[in-house]
Amino acid sequence: MNDVRNQTIMGHPKGLYVLFFSEMWERFCYYGMRGLLVLYLTKSLMQGDTEAFAIYGSFVGLVYLAPVLGGIMADKYLGYKMAVIFGGIMMAIGEFMILGGNLNWLFIGLAIVIVGNGYFKANISSIVGKLYDDQDVRQDSGFTIFYIGINIGALLATLIAVWVGETYGFKYGFGLAGFGMLAGLLIFVGGRRWYEFVAMPPDKDDLHKKVFGPLTKLHIIIILSILLVPVLYFLIQNNSIVGYLMLATAIYMVVKLIKAGIDGGKVLLHRMIIFIILALLNIVFWSLFEQAGSSLTLFADRNVDRNLFGLFEMTAGQTQFFNPFFILVMGSLFTLMWVKLDKIKMNPNIPAKFGLGIILVGIGFYVTTFGKAAHVDYLVPLWTVIALYFFHTVGELFLSPIGLSMVTKLAPSNMTGTLMGAWFLSFAGANYVAASILAPLTGTGGEGSGEKIDPTTLTLAERSQFLDQYVDTFTQFAWIGISVGIVVFLLSPFLNKLMHGIK
């Protein structure tokens, strides 16, 4: 076991690279499906913008809410390896269910994907953290490498699955996403010897003990997880209930974390408080950033000249390509930059990085005002979304890999999965707010099934109206991000004291 634990590639545990490729293909699956979902709803299933945003908001909110339960189940019963395998199987099944081709099959498939993601997403990140000792200086760069894997998957999804779906038919794009999940699952199972020493159940014998007739705890957990599917099927169609559910879950988690902090003493209490503050800031950042899958995709469809330097015409969904592209270009540079800044004692503290990240996402939205000034027939130049995603991506690199690493450092060993689940709860809230509250502010689509907006038939007057509404709303988003980010940056020295030495 020690030999396996100590074997490295490029200075990092071999298990990191197994997890890298597993997560890469899982993200190919998720981002392939996500990149097509709003377009599929509005163009194929004949949903108005408002209805599509509601369905999308319920799904993306629940898909990030599910890891709260998945993390707890892995911590207490399943262990991380078994949780990830079960989650991967469910996600693949869900993708293939979407191929049924109507709203009913879509809701069933999305519900199964939510269950699968709940077990997969939080727990594979937990395994990454556990490959390193608590004070291992390699952990931040390890998470950044892992994050690059996520973005290779997202980039391939936009280049391949989204393009195939928009060009040849949505079912082919969703099908490719499902096969991507199967590839990730095979890699995870095949490379298990390099990580399973930190991913086993806390009590294997207890997990396989019969507790109800021939059924073991493992069987019951799997059965109850599958029984969640009809509940989620209902929730996806009832957006407001999802919002109340998230609020209730958030209150429960805050109380749970504060109580754990009180029981653990002053240092742990302060760390739980700063964790909650950073989770709230995470919601602010991602609720703005995650316009990518909703309002920004429809903006690209209706008001962006997507001709790529005269080479070819990008599809609307493919404009999401620029975010993972910039991650891959700049991710390694940021890894080196943090190390260099740390050596000269100029590395910003974690709250300061969050503030800077939020400022940058605001600046990205403000770019649309310059794009509007350069429009031709109310189509803004492609550089508008390229620049927007550039600033959003730089902001993401200030915040997201650092956030994952921070969670594993702040968490006591017996709370890693729970805290990771709580972290993903903040993503759930952000995605729900992004699609269900912020995206509809663009006001570009009415309610009522069958109200389809075809960009190819829009008059100049209609396109002008869309452009005004999009850019006015994005400008408001810009000022929210810039204002909040500046306040956080100015308060960062005080907030950093609550970290008690964690960097």
Tell me the pairing of strands 215-216 and 8-9: unpaired
Mean confidence (pLDDT) of the chain: 89
The alpha carbons of the chain give a radius of gyration, in whole angstroms, of 22
- Classify the C-alpha dihedral 20-25-30-35 as positive or negative: positive
| 96-121 pLDDT tens trace | 999 998 999 999 999 999 999 999 98
pLDDT of 312: 84
Residue identified by tokens 């590839």 is 183
Residues 6+ apart with CB under 8 A from 57: 239, 242, 294, 431, 432, 434, 435, 436, 437, 439
Domains detected in the chain: 2-497 (1.20.1250.20)
Q: Average pLDDT for residues 449-461, to the nearest whole number?
A: 70
Q: Find, among 316, 338, 339, 462, the residue nearest to 398 by Cα.
A: 338
pLDDT band of residue 259 (cuts 50, 70, 90) is very high
**C-alpha to C-alpha distance for 399 and 395, rounded to whole angstroms:** 6
The model's pTM: 0.87
pLDDT at 410 over 90: no
Q: Average pLDDT for residues 195-222, to the nearest whole number?
A: 87
Q: Average pLDDT for residues 126-149, to the nearest whole number?
A: 81
pLDDT at 14 over 50: yes
Q: Are 366 and 289 in contact (CB under 8 A)?
A: no
pLDDT of 29: 95
| 70-88 pLDDT tens trace | 888 998 899 999 999 999 9
Q: What is the DSSP string of 176-205?
A: HHHHHHHHHHHHHHHTGGGTGGGSS-S-HH
Q: Which residues pair with 9 in a beta bridge?
A: 12
Q: How many CA atoms lie within 13 A of 343 on its CB side?
A: 5
Q: Average pLDDT for residues 145-149, to the nearest whole number?
A: 85
| 338-396 pLDDT tens trace | 879 888 988 898 999 999 999 999 999 999 999 999 999 999 999 999 999 999 999 99
pLDDT band of residue 417 (cuts 50, 70, 90) is low
pLDDT band of residue 69 (cuts 50, 70, 90) is confident
Region of 251 please: left (phi>0), alpha (psi -120 to 50) or beta: alpha
Structure token pair of residue 151: 């973005």
Q: Average pLDDT for residues 403-431, to the nearest whole number?
A: 79
Residue-wise over 123-158: b if at least 16 C-beta within 10 A, else e? bbbbbbbbbbeeeeebbbbbbbbbbbbbbbbbbbbb
**C-alpha to C-alpha distance for 96 and 317, rounded to whole angstroms:** 20
Crossing angle (nearest 10°) for helices 383-410 and 103-130: 50
Terminal Cα distance for the chain, rounded:
30
pLDDT at 450 over 60: no
* CA distance readout (Å), 245 to 36, 112, 284, 437, 482: 26, 18, 19, 15, 30
pLDDT of 448: 45
Q: Average pLDDT for residues 39-49, to the nearest whole number?
A: 89
